[in-house]
Amino acid sequence: MCCPCTRPASIFIPVHQPLLSIRDLSDAELRYLIRRGAWFAGRSGPAHRPLAGKVIGSFFTKTSTRTRTAFASAAFRLGAGHISYGPDELQLATGESIEDTLRVFAGMLDGLVVRTAGDPGELRALADQRRMAVINAMTADEHPTQAIADLTTLQLRFGRISGLRILYVGEGNNTAAALALALTRFPDVELCCATPPGYGIDQKIFREAQAQAAGHGSSITECHDLTAAMTEADVVYATRWQTTGTSKADPNWRSLFAPFQVNAELMARRPDAVFMHDLPAHRGEDVTDAVLEGPSSIAFQQAENKLYSAMAVLEWCVLGESFAEMNHEGERN
Question: Average pLDDT for residues 13-23, to the nearest whole number?
Answer: 81
pLDDT in tens, 236-250: 999 999 876 667 888
Predicted pLDDT of residue 126:
76
Domains 22-142+306-332 and 146-302 share a fold: yes
Question: Average pLDDT for residues 79-86, to the nearest whole number?
Answer: 95
Q: What is the DSSP string of 208-238?
A: HHHHHHHHHT-EEEEES-GGGS-SS-SEEEE
* Residue 263, SS3 per DSSP: coil
- Alpha-carbon span 320 to 14, nearest angstrom: 5
Predicted pLDDT of residue 5:
39
Predicted pLDDT of residue 10:
39
> Which CATH number, 3.40.50.2000, 3.30.70.1400, 3.40.50.1370, 3.40.50.1980, labels domain 146-302?
3.40.50.1370
The model carries a pTM of 0.91
Question: Closest Cα to residue 228, out of 193, 263, 199?
Answer: 193
Tell me if the domain spanning 22-142+306-332 has CATH number 3.40.50.1370.
Answer: yes
Residue 181 CB coordination number (10 Å): 24
**Which of 29-33, 117-121, 127-131, 264-268 has the least mean pLDDT?**
117-121
- Alpha-carbon span 148 to 44, nearest angstrom: 22
Predicted pLDDT of residue 319:
92
Sequence spans of domains, the chain = 22-142+306-332, 146-302
**141 secondary structure, DSSP code:** S
Q: Are the beta carbons of 197 and 223 closer than 8 angstroms? A: no
* Percent of the chain that is helix, strand, coil (3-state, to 5): 45, 15, 45
pLDDT in tens, 163-198: 999 999 999 999 999 999 999 999 999 999 999 999
Q: pLDDT band at residue 322, thresholds of 50, 70 and 90? A: low
pLDDT in tens, 249-292: 888 899 999 999 999 999 999 999 999 999 999 999 999 999 99
Give kind and range of the element (H or E) at residue 81. Answer: strand 81-85
Q: What Cα–Cα distance (Å) separates residue 96 from each residue in 7, 101, 231, 258?
A: 38, 7, 53, 44
